[in-house]
């Protein structure tokens, strides 16, 4: 049995969303959270992704305003980074998990 993950022909929605978050976090540092929220919503629309809502977008926008990308999941992070669209500064941290 081969446990090596199969490569996809195109990135998953989660990886594309993670890439959008990386992109916004790189540009939104030190901006008001409301501006980061608007930038994130615009980036999601531009990439034809499912619109974000509720507390999740607030958390992602707050992280972006601090210059730190919100990490959806390890899988999305790995796939987005593998597709050459992730951060390369080594400052990415896991967020959104209890106890961390």
CB proximity list for 41: less than 8 A, separation 6 or greater: 51, 52, 57
Count of CB atoms situated within 10 Å of the CB of 24: 27
53-88 pLDDT tens trace:
889 899 999 999 999 999 998 898 998 887 654 454
pLDDT tens-digit series, residues 16-31: 999 999 999 999 999 9
How far is Cα 56 from Cα 53, in angstroms, rounded to an integer? 6
pTM of the full structure: 0.72
């Amino acid at each position: 049995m081969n446990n090596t993950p199969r490569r996809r022909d195109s990135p998953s929605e989660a990886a594309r969303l993670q890439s959008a978050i990386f992109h916004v976090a790189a540009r939104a540092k030190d901006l008001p959270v409301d501006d980061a929220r608007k930038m994130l919503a615009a980036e999601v629309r531009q990439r034809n992704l499912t619109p974000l809502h509720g507390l999740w977008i607030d958390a992602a926008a707050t992280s972006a305003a601090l210059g730190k990308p919100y990490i959806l999941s390890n899988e999305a992070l790995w796939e987005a980074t593998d597709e050459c669209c992730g951060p390369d500064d080594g400052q990415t941290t896991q967020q959104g998990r209890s106890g961390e």
